[in-house]
């Protein structure tokens, strides 16, 4: 598949704006491994090869095991995720797929057991920004950067 356009060249201001939100998330204090796991799961849901190729190695660098990376697509059935990881993944999926236009109280109440309100909001920003990157990379057909 051929790349349609290069966001960094045709919309440098928009690209830089996305980087600002991305930087906020990365400096929010949330565990970087958890953030990378969330980014992988959301990118799987959105079919973004570019983001998967980027975030899988980063997840490894931040302590996420190969088993956790490989099984995140079926995280509900895999016993290798902590309660915090499960809550964050459920929150990420619910925000990515707004079911009937909302995130359920059940998902919110579970994430609230493991994270402060600030952390929940920061997780929401993380999900929003990776969804944004996914959509930008998919619509522009930006190819993954493979080693």
pLDDT tens digits for 61-105?
999 999 999 999 999 999 999 999 999 999 999 999 998 889 999
> Across the strands, what pairs with 99?
102
Tell me the Ramachandran region of residue 103: left when phi exceeds 0, alpha when psi lies from -120 to 50, beta otherwise: beta
**Does residue 60 carry a pLDDT above 90?**
yes
Q: Are 126 and 35 in contact (CB under 8 A)?
A: yes
The pLDDT assigned to 37 comes to 98
Q: Are 14 and 7 in contact (CB under 8 A)?
A: yes
Distance CA 49, CA 98 (A): 22
What's the CATH fold of domain 32-137? AhpD-like (1.20.1290)
pLDDT tens sequence across 2-52: 999 999 999 999 999 999 999 999 999 999 999 999 999 999 999 999 999
Is pLDDT larger for residue 108 or for residue 146?
108
Distance CA 36, CA 127 (A): 11
The H or E element containing residue 136 is: helix 117-140
Say which DSSP state 62 is in: T
**Does residue 128 carry a pLDDT above 90?**
yes
pTM: 0.95
pLDDT tens sequence across 116-127: 999 999 999 999
Q: Domain extents for the chain?
A: 32-137
Distance CA 135, CA 52 (A): 13
The pLDDT assigned to 146 comes to 86
């Amino acid at each position: 598949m051929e790349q349609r356009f290069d966001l960094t060249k045709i919309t440098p201001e928009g690209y830089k704006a996305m980087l600002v939100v991305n930087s906020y998330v990365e400096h929010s204090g949330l565990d970087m491994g958890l953030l990378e796991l969330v980014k992988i799961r959301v990118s799987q849901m959105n079919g973004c090869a570019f983001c998967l190729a980027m975030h899988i190695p980063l997840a490894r660098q931040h302590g996420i095991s190969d088993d956790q990376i490989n099984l995140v697509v079926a995280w509900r059935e895999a016993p290798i995720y902590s309660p915090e990881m499960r809550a964050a993944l459920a929150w990420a999926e619910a925000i990515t797929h707004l079911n009937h236009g909302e995130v359920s109280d059940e998902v919110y109440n579970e994430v609230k057991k493991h994270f402060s309100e600030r952390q929940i909001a920061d997780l929401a920003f993380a999900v929003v920004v990776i969804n944004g990157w996914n959509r930008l990379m998919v619509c522009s057909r930006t190819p993954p950067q493979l080693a």
